[in-house]
A and B are shown apart, each in its own frame.
Chain A
């Protein structure tokens, strides 16, 4: 079973993503910000990280940069309400950039693609 680490400070979003992705057959781990995500990665060894960008304590871009330095191979899928972060070259290191939407179809499709590769 593939493990997905969901990193988001919004509890409702975490719950929605968890329920929806578990229904797709993934094992889910949750982190409320970038720092928690860093702590969890070595324990959970996720196959994919679904990462919000704007979060307290440590934002998603910084967390991603540290993760990629430490655990090179983990694909990160950025998932944010902001389209403007695309201008930040750090986001180029991610596997994908998704604007948050209540239609989770595109997100699920992208996750399948990344995990199949």
Chain B
């Protein structure tokens, strides 16, 4: 920015001016912990006319791995023409260094400047013992380069560095805290070709100390933020798994209670139903009590069946896998439910793949799952409708589809659909779909559904043709996956 220092006067005034610069920059640096803003603020201080007044400044920092010195950010015009435009603008705005520095967090940091294309090309491995730049960092002493060599000792600067900078004269101040090396601050007057004074170098050194602290603080702050984010994420994961654990525990408690209750109910049911059957047998044909006794016997049988379901659900069943013709299984289930389908005026539509290969499944369990899905479908069509049963297969999987044209499933029920004891029916155990879900899970298969209110629902069971393939691995829309 403006290299033409407005400082002047005697040594006393000069010292006050220097202190003012350091104060302004320090204050600006204290206001932020954003690494980018800190770096930019440092560079503005080095190049501003009321700051250190260099033409250009480059920040090279040691990478997080501690392997190399890398160019990070630079500031300054690329030509005398550009320089005069920028400096005129700044003069017109009459902004003090303090005012300008306050603006830094608000302005977009210009990475497309030519100086930033230059700085990005700096990458010097610290392991290179010959390279002058890492040596400058390690020396912890500022130096002045004139005519392409460090003065006055004469350590030559490599041609690559000089070529990148486009000048043979610059000042270099190492950035470090105690014995911890941070990087290197380079400053030059490549545009005005003004010589760099010893006082400027001395001030740059003091300035570099403040800059080192600010860079280190910002880096620590960034690391801290990253760690905190990491901790928060871990905490979230932990909370979620704790929630799932509690849920599972609750389910298992409910399951145990249900099992206990079911067993306790079984015994009196045997007496009720057993005596009803006995009386039925000994009551003469034509006696009106026969009908009532039939009701007692049948209803008892129904409760016993439900209890069997609850216990089947509560107990993690062992799978008895055998090669099964799924089409035949579906046909036999539908034949068994034929009367139910007819009574409900449900029309059957078949879309069975005739070349469906056999699948290794527990026939008894899968049969139960299909009965539950089909019964649900029928219940969802109180006014009748059509039930579409499909099968399909590919190399690894086969799929069974059960679709109805019924009332559909309201979206608010989607996430509870497979939870045990959840039901929208006036009568029902709320275990039907939970059992289906458990059975499909036992088979390492996947179950998904699609539905819209009034448009029916369709359930798709996906099973591996051979063990060892989990259908879970297949991507299906998250909201319907189960």
Q: For window 249-302 of chain B, which residues contact chain A by CB distance below 8 Å? A: 263-264, 266-278, 297, 300-301
Answer whether residue B315 sits at the interface, using C-beta atoms and an 8 A cutoff: yes
Answer whether residue A83 sits at the interface, using C-beta atoms and an 8 A cutoff: yes
Q: CA separation between A13 and B272, bound complex, in Å?
A: 9
Q: CA separation between A103 and B274, bound complex, in Å?
A: 6
B315 in contact with A83 (CB, 8 Å): yes
When C-beta atoms are compared, the residue in chain B nearest to A54 turns out to be B263
B263 in contact with A81 (CB, 8 Å): yes
Q: CA separation between A15 and B272, bound complex, in Å?
A: 12
Residues in B with CB closer than 8 Å to A12 are 268, 271, 275
Given A12-B268, A19-B278, A83-B315, also A102-B263 (CB < 8 A): no
Chain B nearest CB, measured from A45 CB (Å): 27
With contacts defined as CB atoms under 8 Å apart, how many contacts are there between chain A and chain B in the complex?
50
When C-beta atoms are compared, the residue in chain B nearest to A79 turns out to be B270
Given A19-B278, A83-B315, A84-B315, also A102-B272 (CB < 8 A): yes
* Count of residues in B whose CB is under 8 Å from the partner chain: 21
Q: Which secondary structure dominates where chain A touches chain B?
A: loop
Chain A nearest CB, measured from B259 CB (Å): 8
Residues in A with CB closer than 8 Å to B297 are 102
Q: CA separation between A12 and B268, bound complex, in Å?
A: 8
Q: For window 47-104 of chain A, which residues contact chain B by CB distance below 8 Å? A: 81-84, 100-104
Answer whether residue B379 sits at the interface, using C-beta atoms and an 8 A cutoff: no
Chain B nearest CB, measured from A21 CB (Å): 11
B277 in contact with A13 (CB, 8 Å): no
Answer whether residue A16 sits at the interface, using C-beta atoms and an 8 A cutoff: yes
Which of B263, B300, B304 is A82 in contact with, Cβ under 8 Å? B263
Q: CA separation between A20 and B271, bound complex, in Å?
A: 12
Which of A16, A83, A84 is B270 in contact with, Cβ under 8 Å? A16
Q: CA separation between A18 and B263, bound complex, in Å?
A: 22
Residues in B with CB closer than 8 Å to A101 are 270, 273, 304
Answer whether residue B311 sits at the interface, using C-beta atoms and an 8 A cutoff: yes
* Count of residues in A whose CB is under 8 Å from the partner chain: 16
Residues in A with CB closer than 8 Å to B275 are 12, 16
Q: CA separation between A15 and B267, bound complex, in Å?
A: 13
Answer whether residue A44 sits at the interface, using C-beta atoms and an 8 A cutoff: no
Answer whether residue A36 sits at the interface, using C-beta atoms and an 8 A cutoff: no
B278 in contact with A20 (CB, 8 Å): yes
Residues in A with CB closer than 8 Å to B273 are 101-103
Given A12-B268, A13-B270, A82-B263, also A102-B304 (CB < 8 A): yes
Q: CA separation between A10 and B274, bound complex, in Å?
A: 14
20 contacting pairs across A/B (C-beta < 8 A): A10-B267, A10-B271, A12-B275, A16-B271, A16-B274, A16-B275, A20-B274, A20-B278, A81-B267, A83-B311, A83-B315, A100-B267, A100-B270, A101-B270, A101-B304, A102-B271, A102-B274, A102-B276, A102-B277, A102-B297
Further contacts, 17 of them, CB under 8 A, given A13-B267, A84-B315, A102-B277: A10-B271, A12-B271, A16-B271, A16-B275, A16-B278, A20-B278, A81-B264, A81-B267, A82-B263, A83-B311, A100-B266, A100-B267, A101-B304, A102-B270, A102-B271, A103-B277, A103-B301
